[in-house]
Amino acid sequence: MSKKVAVILSGCGVYDGSEIYESVLTLLRLDQRGAQVQCFAPNAPQLHVIDHYRGEEMQESRNVLVEAARLARGNIKDVREGKVEDFDALILPGGFGAAKNLSDFAVSGANCTVQPDVLAFAQAFARAGKPVGLICIAPALAARIYGPGVVCTIGNDPDTAAALTKMGAQHENCAVDEIVVDTERKLVTTPAYMLAKSIGETAGGINKLVDRVLELA
């Protein structure tokens, strides 16, 4: 029987939403493994909009759900509609949207909060003992989802790792093509573009993360 996996997106574009390669690689691997996938995103405004060509902030506003629908080819739902009993696992790709739209980690660091609808959905998976995968910078949410002692990785960046440690997480350094598994909590994390220099490097870790999440489910 195929596993049902919820994927939370945070917009569309590395600098202000979901990292596109990470998102597509996640969805591709889930499809290759025969999983049924439903994408979600919070129905909320982005922190800001970045011109990905010039790298500059644009004077306009966009909605996270509407932008994330680009990645999901329109097949996406408001995260408030998500019900943990409908799924076997949850995965969050990275990109600055995880630190700007799913949380305010990019602004508040260790004092960050998680978007309430995203936090409620993710914590439901934690309470149900269902596996969760957090990619790239998304492990910044781990301590808020699971509480102190959760084991995770963002790669080896000392400042980011220190912020996660201050939040109560136990950070482990990790190579780009590897994963860190908190077996007690069924949490799987991988650095992806926190370390990757190419889409191929990114794929190695994401494929392992998806495979392990499905195994734990």
Counting as low any pLDDT under 70, the low residues of the chain are none
Report pLDDT digits (tens) over 119-139: 999 999 999 999 999 999 999
Domain boundaries, the chain: 4-216
Of the residues 12, 136, 152, 174, which is catalytic? Answer: 136
d(CA 83, CA 75): 16
Distance of CA 107 to the CA centre of its chain: 17
Distance CA 68, CA 46 (A): 11
CB 187 within 8 A of CB 132: yes
- 115/88 Cα distance (integer angstroms): 22
Q: What is the pLDDT of residue 55?
A: 86
Kind plus residue range of the DSSP H or E element containing 209: helix 199-216
**Would you call 136 a catalytic residue per the annotation?**
yes
**In 21-167, at which residue ranges do the beta strands (DSSP E only) sit?**
36-41, 49-51, 56-58, 76-78, 89-92, 132-135, 151-152
pLDDT of residue 47: 84
Q: Are 210 and 173 in contact (CB under 8 A)?
A: no
CATH topology of domain 4-216: Rossmann fold (3.40.50)
CA–CA separation, 62 and 91 (whole Å): 23
Amino acid at 10: S
pLDDT at 79: 98
Per-residue pLDDT of 169-209, as tens digits, reads: 999 999 999 999 999 999 999 999 999 999 999 999 999 99
| Cα 184 to the center of its chain, rounded Å | 19
